Structure 1
Amino acid sequence: METCPWCEIGKLTSVTGTVYWELPDGTRAVEITETPSSHCENCKALFQSDEIVKGIEEQLFLIDSKQLAKQTKYDELLKMKRLLKRNYFDFGK
């Protein structure tokens, strides 16, 4: 079991949670439910891995956010049709 990077004491468990994300254009935030997350038994922190965060941010950047409801499930967000095949502005790839 992995140790919590926040408190460095608690053990992490895999859970799904609700996160709130600001759209890349800054016009509003959306609620994303059933998001893969980690939960610390000690400090009660709920957070997402770097991979999940990058996936959410990339998908929000590549879809038509006007078609996005105020609330969506994580899996539904990732299945939404992209306007571009990939993020051509991500030079870290």
Structure 2
Amino acid sequence: MCPWCKEGTVVNTSDSVYWELPDGTKAIEITDTPSKQCDGCGACFQDDDIVKEIEDQLFLINTAQLAKAISFDGLMKLPRLLKRNYFDFS
């Protein structure tokens, strides 16, 4: 069931998302991001685990070298400056 309209069926898909970098210097397009889409209202969204994965990766890499667009898989394969997000206390 769709969390937005509470009526439609949600299917797995991939989509482009736009994300502001943690330092606020720019936004980038992340293509082929694992997403969900409602066949009723058309809402396209990402699960919380995908959002966290993107945010952690953007926090842990050298974002100065990022182009305006990158694929989700390409982003996740970039080398990290730290092993994990030591500022995440959740």
Query: TM-score band, normalised by the shorter chain?
Result: over 0.9
Structure 1: how far apart are the matches of 2:45 and 2:29? Answer: 15
- Matched with 1:84 is 82
Give the letter for the 2:41 counterpart.
C
TM-score normalised according to structure 1 size: 0.96
- Matched with 2:26 is 28
Structure 1: how far apart are the matches of 2:60 and 2:66? Answer: 12
Structure 2: runs of 5 or more not aligned: none
The alignment's C-alpha RMSD in Å is 0.4
Give the letter for the 1:12 counterpart.
V
- Matched with 2:42 is 44
Number of aligned pairs?
90
1:9 aligned counterpart, secondary structure: coil
Work out the percentage of aligned pairs sharing the same amino acid: 60
CA deviation digits over 1:44-64, x for unaligned, max 9?
Answer: 000000000000000000000
Give the letter for the 2:63 counterpart.
S
Give the letter for the 2:69 counterpart.
Q
Structure 1: how far apart are the matches of 2:89 and 2:14? Answer: 30
Residue 70, structure 1, aligned to residue 64, structure 2: no
2:19 aligned counterpart, secondary structure: strand
| 1:67 shift after superposition | 1.0
TM-score normalised according to structure 2 size: 0.99
| 1:33 shift after superposition | 0.2
Give the letter for the 2:85 counterpart.
N
Which runs of structure 1 show a deviation greater than 4 angstroms over 4 or more consecutive aligned residues?
A: none
